[in-house]
Amino acid sequence: MTTSAAVPAGSEGAITGVGAVTDRLVEANHRYAAAFDDPGMDARPVLRVAVVACMDARLDLHAALGLELGDCHTIRNAGGVVTDDVIRSLTISQRALGTRSIVLIHHTGCGMESLTEEFRHDLEMEVGQRPSWAVESFRDVDQDVRQSMQRVRTSPFLLSTEDVRGFVFDVRTGLLREIDAA
């Protein structure tokens, strides 16, 4: 097994060439900046909510949740799992920037369901160094949402853990399905 990803065959619109994607993003930023008008916002989220979600490119969180710029803090990683770094970000979000609600969003068809901790071993064999982080893969998305909610609720660093809710986003319908903490 290789730990290096490849662009699937037949990927229409794929950008090739070293730096081509980054160049495209920088060009888009120049267009954005030309029309940019500083909204004069504070770094504190208007809705006092932090959303933890998977980094999957199919999740447009602002659109799916009806959010506007400045409404929330968004913390994303592979699987949307609550790791030490997520707790770090949530702690700063709550203690320094006033958030009180936490929404956790995993999704159907997540790539983390097909990985195992063997990925770390393969990576160590490939590069000669064992990663310091866990893969945090899972087989049951509902159970992983429950585990993430439990990690948030039991963290001694967070000020507010009363309003912690977890969901699974269906990538085919766009609907959220709430997961009971039990």
Q: What is the pLDDT of residue 63?
A: 98
d(CA 173, CA 126): 38
Specify the pLDDT at position 92: 98
Beta strands 164-169 and 72-77, pairing class? unpaired
Residue 139 contacts residue 113 (beta carbons within 8 Å): yes
* Closest residue by Cα to residue 47 from 28, 66, 32, 26: 66
Question: What span, in angstroms and rounded, lies between the C-alpha atoms of 94 and 100?
Answer: 6
pLDDT score at 43? 92
pLDDT of residue 18: 72
| pLDDT score recorded for residue 52 | 98
pTM of the model: 0.88
Report whether 179 contacts 142 (CB < 8 A): yes
- At 48 the three-state DSSP class reads coil
5-37 confidence digits (pLDDT tens): 555 555 556 666 777 899 999 999 999 999 999
Q: Which pLDDT value is given to residue 152?
A: 98
Count other C-beta atoms under 10 Å from residue 170's C-beta.
13
- Of the chain, the percentage scoring pLDDT greater than 70 comes to 91
Give the dihedral sign, CA 62/179/170/3.
Answer: positive
Predicted local distance difference test score (pLDDT) of residue 182: 72
Question: What is the C-alpha separation between 179 and 166, in angstroms, rounded?
Answer: 6
pLDDT of residue 181: 84
Q: Which of 115, 117, 102 is nearest to 151 (CA)?
A: 102
Where are the extended beta strands (E) located within 95-175? Answer: 101-107, 164-169
Q: What is the pLDDT of residues 43-59, one digit of tens each?
A: 999 999 999 999 999 99
For tokens 């229409």, name the residue: 12
C-beta separation of 150 from 87 below 8 A: no
pLDDT at 10: 56
Where would I find the beta strands (DSSP E) of the chain?
49-54, 72-77, 101-107, 164-169, 176-179
In the numeric block, which tokens belong to residue 135?
């893969």
**Token pair 């903490």: residue:** 181
Given a cut of 70, the residues of the chain with pLDDT beneath it are 1-16
